[in-house]
Structure 1
Amino acid sequence: MTKVAISAAVALSVLFFSCGENKPAEKAPVSYPTMKIERADRSLTTNYAATVRGCQTVEIRPQVSGILTEICIKEGDAVRKGQLLFEIEPAQFQAAYDIAQANVHSAEAAVSTAQLVLDSNKELYDEKVISDFELNTAKNDLSEAKAKLNLAIAQLDKASTDLSYTQVKSPVNGVASMIPYRVGTLVSSNIVEPLVTVSDDARIYAYFSMAESDMLNLVSQYGSVDDAIKEIPDVKFQMNNGEMYPLPGNIDAVSGTINSSTGAINFRAVFPNPQRLLRDGGTGTVIIPNDYKDCIAIPQGATYELQDRIFVYKVVDNKAVSTEIKILPNSNGREYIVTEGLEPGDIIVSEGAGLMKEGTVVNAK
């Protein structure tokens, strides 16, 4: 009996310990990083693709027709206002000027002669030697001579202007573009391509488009478009190679209408360009900063999205409570600015919100 009892006891012990080993172990609570909501200052940026234009870009075209006899600049040269760029064969225009000048001298002589005749006729009329008709004829002859003189002077002015047009000069300071013509080419005012384009790029304009919603956000923040232009901090420019342009600029103009095709509004930023680093026709990115004072900023990892709505998990009584929030549309890539849904002093899960669910026990760390 003793052996039987011992065997039974051993069997029961083995069974007891075997059952104990199969019982699942309790999972330890997961620790989640949390943060306490506080107000702070933040500066976020918004990027806009931009096209670069010179402050003043002028297409230089000939005002008269003729053979191009000299090109006085090289492509890419910096040119000054009034500098000679091209010369057009002047012979025919010089001849026209000389003829016009001779016509002026002839007309001046005719006026002098008509004046002498009139003066003489007045004396004869006073002596009753000639009639009213002859006196009035002399007056009319003088008027006609003066009119012809005025016409000759006008023709001389035109001939002088045409002659001056054979020397094509730059109307602005700037940089010369490529030159599609060569010496010996017949050029005229209706040529397809300009002789050269001169771009004044001591300052450059960066043109970009802003969505209507972004513009309305600016108006909401600053009060009006005009106030926004005045109050927006200096903007930056990222060049096409990814490098930041070293000098800041500012927004100085905005279009008065919305493009009905794109729903966007055109803006213009101006940048100083003393080293001519930015060139007309280039591209880049305008970066607009937005400064927010005393705002609520949270990590993007603290949020999750559901049906185009943004949520965070508040920690209430050590449990996760899903809470919808409203945020500003722009961000710095790391944080969101919260406009509704959170208050200073709230505790939220700061990472991994997308992996949690409602009611999860939060062991804060």
Structure 2
Amino acid sequence: MQIHRKLMFKPLGLALASAFLLAACGGNEQQNAAGQSAPAVTVLTVKVESVPVASELPGRTAPYLIAELRPQVTGIVKQRLFKEGSVVKAGQVLYQIDAATYQAAADSARASLARAEANLDAARLKAERYAELVKIEAVSKQANEEAVAAMKQAQADVGSAKAALDRARIDLGYTRVASPIAGRIGRSTVTPGALVTANQVAALATVQQLDPIYVDLTQSSTELLHMKRDLESGKLQRVSGNAVPVQLVLEDGSLYGAAGKLAFSEVTVDQATGSVTLRAVFPNPRGELLPGMYVRARLAQGVQDNAIRVPHAAVSRDPKGNATVMLVNAESKVEPRVVKTAQSLGDQWVVTEGLAAGDRVIVEGLQRVRPGAPVQVQDAAAASPAAAPAK
């Protein structure tokens, strides 16, 4: 009987031991779960500061100077004296038109001038002789007057012959088509042997000066009026200096290496688009900017006081499209906040409404939090030095 009772109590003891072990494990899991319920987040304590206000405007590049080469005389193209796509100098001869007929015309005009000058010499001598003879009444006054008139006519013939020679020389010079500006030349529309006509519609080639280069921008008249009112009210402070600096963002999102400046602003609003054209000029020594490229330009237009900057990663959009951030309040709990962003500066948003100095904005760990939940806070300023050795 005693042996039977011992056998009965042995399974019961094992069951009680197992229960205690399970209870202990369960308690540890609850303690671990309680410890893991407050996720760690990194916060940025924001501060009020003055930031530059810039407008990012779309635009297209345009040549600083452009010249379309057209012949001013008719003839056959004998030579093309440039390489397509090369850089040419001002005054460099690019095409040679057959000059034989124009050379002959110049020679003929030169001979006509020589004949006119010879006739003038004879008429002058006769007029001078008659002027002496009329004093002694050796010739009539009428004969003297006719000699003077003949001399004046000979002078006019010389002037006409000189003009004809000048015109012939000009036409002869036009057989050498030169570039009026320095720049890069494009493709040629004609080849040697082609017939070209004076002042034809089609250009032989186009030369463009690309250093410096223009960037034509468009800004809506509404934005322009809003900026002017903010400047007048004192909400925006004017940028020091008269020149307005401009930064260029290329099509691939990279910043152009050289800064430009605003050249002028159009005084008329485009009725079709409601926008104003702005023109900026940029140095282009390496030829990176080509005419017709789409770019975006950032224009510094003032200084915004009492502004706050937060990283892009900290700002999200709610279902209504409002910009929101997650804060950590005094109770170390997550609190959503709707904010108003004015512009983007680098990797940060400029916030003008919704935040105050000292607010703690969550910048890392947003995917692990929800509104009202407690969190473990780590300051971004304290986390950055620790992250440096890991690089």
> Kindly tell me: are residues 280 and 309 of structure 1, through their superposed partners in 2, closer, same or farther at Cα, counting changes over 3 Å?
closer
* Aligned match for 1:104, one of 106, 110, 113: 113
Partner of 2:194: 185
Partner amino acid for 1:274? Answer: P
Unaligned regions of 5+ residues in structure 2, if any?
Answer: 1-33, 378-391
Partner of 2:162: 153
Q: Choose 179-188 or 105-114, whichever is displaced more.
A: 105-114
Instruction: Give the Å deviation of 1:304.
Output: 5.8
Separation in 1, partners of 2:275, 2:240:
17
Partner of 2:278: 267
**Mapping 1:160-239, distance limit 5 Å:** 160-220=169-229, 230-238=242-250
* Aligned match for 1:129, one of 109, 127, 138: 138
Instruction: Give the Å deviation of 1:363.
Output: 7.3
Is this contact kept in 2: 1:302–1:349, CA < 8 A?
no
Task: Kindly report the root-mean-square deviation, in angstroms, between the aligned alpha carbons of the 2 structures.
Answer: 3.8
Is this contact kept in 2: 1:52–1:204, CA < 8 A?
yes
> Are 1:116 and 2:128 matched, yes or no?
no
Separation in 2, partners of 1:112, 1:222:
78
Instruction: Give the Å deviation of 1:285.
Output: 3.0
Q: Secondary structure at the match of 2:171?
A: helix
Separation in 1, partners of 2:79, 2:172:
15
Aligned residues between the structures? 333
Partner of 1:14: none
Is this contact kept in 2: 1:312–1:348, CA < 8 A?
no
Partner of 2:149: 140
> Kindly tell me: are residues 314 and 286 of structure 1, through their superposed partners in 2, closer, same or farther at Cα, counting changes over 3 Å?
closer
**Mapping 1:1-365, distance limit 5 Å:** 37-42=46-51, 46-220=55-229, 230-238=242-250, 240-288=251-299, 292=304, 295-298=307-310, 301=314, 327-328=341-342, 330-332=343-345, 335-340=348-353, 343-344=356-357, 347=359, 365=377
Q: Choose 131-140 or 41-50, whichever is displaced more.
A: 41-50
Separation in 1, partners of 2:211, 2:81:
22
> Kindly tell me: are residues 116 and 284 of structure 1, through their superposed partners in 2, closer, same or farther at Cα, counting changes over 3 Å?
same
Separation in 2, partners of 1:247, 1:334:
20
Partner amino acid for 1:268? Answer: R
Instruction: Give the Å deviation of 1:295.
Output: 2.3
Partner amino acid for 2:101? Answer: Q
Separation in 2, partners of 1:73, 1:349:
63
Is this contact kept in 2: 1:218–1:228, CA < 8 A?
no
Deviations 1:100-150 (A, max 9, x none): 111111111121111111111111210112333222222221221111111
Separation in 2, partners of 1:75, 1:35:
57
TM-score, length of structure 1 as denominator length: 0.75
Q: Secondary structure at the match of 2:344?
A: coil
Q: Secondary structure at the match of 1:270?
A: strand
> Kindly tell me: are residues 69 and 241 of structure 1, through their superposed partners in 2, closer, same or farther at Cα, counting changes over 3 Å?
farther
Separation in 1, partners of 2:205, 2:188:
5
Partner of 1:9: none
Instruction: Give the Å deviation of 1:47.
Output: 3.6
TM-score, length of structure 2 as denominator length: 0.71
Is this contact kept in 2: 1:174–1:199, CA < 8 A?
yes
Separation in 2, partners of 1:153, 1:222:
65
Separation in 2, partners of 1:197, 1:229:
38
Instruction: Give the Å deviation of 1:340.
Output: 4.9
Deviations 1:41-100 (A, max 9, x none): 445764433322221111111110100001111101111111111100001111111111
Q: Secondary structure at the match of 1:235?
A: strand
Partner amino acid for 2:64? Answer: C
Separation in 1, partners of 2:253, 2:226:
27
Separation in 2, partners of 1:98, 1:302:
82
Partner amino acid for 1:337? Answer: V
Unaligned regions of 5+ residues in structure 1, if any?
Answer: 1-27
Q: Secondary structure at the match of 2:82?
A: coil
Is this contact kept in 1: 2:210–2:290, CA < 8 A?
yes
Partner amino acid for 2:78? Answer: T
Partner amino acid for 1:78? Answer: V
Instruction: Give the Å deviation of 1:310.
Output: 6.4
Q: Secondary structure at the match of 1:210?
A: strand
Partner of 2:15: none
